[in-house]
Amino acid sequence: MSHRVAALQMSSGPDVDRNLDAFERLARRAVSAWGAELVVAPECFAYLGPEEGKIPLAEDLDEGGRILARCTSIARELDAHLLLGGFWERGTSEGKVHNSSVHLDPSGEIRAIYRKIHLFDVELPDGTQISESDTVEPGTEAVVTEAPFGRLGLSICYDLRFSELYRALVEAGAVALSIPAAFTLTTGKEHWHVLLRARAIESQCYVIAAAQTGRHFGNRVSYGHAMIVDPWGTPVSECGEGEGLAVAEVNLDRIAQVRSSLPSLRHRRSFEPPKA
């Protein structure tokens, strides 16, 4: 009833080949040394550089390209499920891409694609300014996919702040949630742990959160701390800083135990919002 999963921690930058080499190195370690059946890469795993640089790199997932081809080859060679946490997919609007989470099965076939719904447009106190919507086209649909342990709900980074998305994923049968991210240092040190634990507790799911870490380019710095949280809200594996991986078991008996002992998912009620 247990299946081992790995959440990768990377420090991606503008060099695609270097990033893909790091991804392959970590994925190989996760599978060969730890026996991971599912490996989750962080958001922006193949490219984390100036915003305009992602446009020419974006690939059509039907036609593929060098990034998808490399990842497909890795999935086949490792005989493992890969979740490409934030893949730059060609958008439908001129000059825009999708920030997509792509599930590859061990044969290298695409099982599911989730396109990030909530886009990160902020100006932080430390001077960091990010306007994701300038170059990214938002998705519109919640997505679950069949992983080795059962249904996995897909999300990306800033989605973490919107609990209604995770409610929809649980209602669709999710027993685990993937949250690949490139959380900024400023927001990460304040909110990352508490939000991941909250999503696990309220959804009574495992949370698999791959992460970017360190300085990428200019003043863009990520918090790191890739982690896996169990359905009681307990972190069971966590990285610190620097490249690495968090590995843990998704245990179906543990999910059943938590949901039985504290049946909050069965106690949910629909209600009308208060009138102004």
What are the residue numbers of the active site?
Answer: 43, 116, 157
Angle 98-231-7 from CA coordinates, rounded to 5° = 45
Dist CA 238 CA 188 (whole Å) = 14
Q: Would you call 57 exposed, middle or buried from its count of C-beta atoms within 10 A (0-12, 13-18, 19+)?
A: middle
CA–CA dist 30, 20 (Å, integer): 15
Nearest-angstrom CA–CA distance, 177 and 8: 15
Residue 56, CA distances (Å) to 50, 65, 96, 257 in order: 12, 11, 10, 48
Give the Å distances, CA to CA, from 61 to 19, 29, 103, 203, 235.
19, 27, 11, 31, 34
Q: How far is CA 177 from CA 43, 58, 156, 208, in A?
A: 15, 25, 10, 6
Secondary structure (DSSP) of 120-137: -EEE-TTS-EEEGGGTB-
Exposure of 11 in the CB half-sphere (CA atoms within 13 A): 16
SS3 111: strand
